[in-house]
Amino acid sequence: MGGQRMSCNVYLRGGQRMSCNVYLRGEQRVSCNVYLRGGQRMSCNVYLRGEQRVSCNVYLRGEQRMSCNVYLRGGQRMSCNVYLRGEQRVSCNVYLRGEQRMSCNLTVDAHISGI
């Protein structure tokens, strides 16, 4: 499945952009990226390799706090969740199933404002 790419993009009011990108390559790389306006970038990356290792890398500019949680469960389900300060939450979920079908869902539980 080398070279396959699936991405879903959501545009919010005020020029804010949030993108969820999934890359299927030889090393089973899955990336969940969230971009905010003002040059801030938040990314949560999940890498699946031969031993099913999962690593999560977080990059954040500015003073805003952020936590990135990665869950690997039965059925090769991965979720990459990005939490912003306060009640604002952005979650990017990636599902791997038997036929290697993938769905990339980006949900915004609260309006992102003041960023």
pLDDT, averaged per 10 consecutive residues of the chain (115 residues), comes to: 42 48 48 52 51 43 46 48 49 48 44 38
The token pair at 59 is 């990059």
Residue 114, domain member (yes or no): no
The answer, as to whether pTM is greater than 0.75, is no
> Are residues 4 and 104 in contact, defined by beta-carbon separation less than 8 angstroms?
no
Report pLDDT for 81: 53
Residue 37, domain member (yes or no): yes
Domain assignment of residue 35, given as a range: 4-108
Residue 75, domain member (yes or no): yes
Report pLDDT for 11: 46
- What is the tally of structural domains in the chain? 1
Residue 115, domain member (yes or no): no
Report pLDDT for 95: 52
Q: In what order do the strands lie in the sheet with 89-96?
A: 67-73, 77-83, 89-96, 102-108
Residue 52, domain member (yes or no): yes
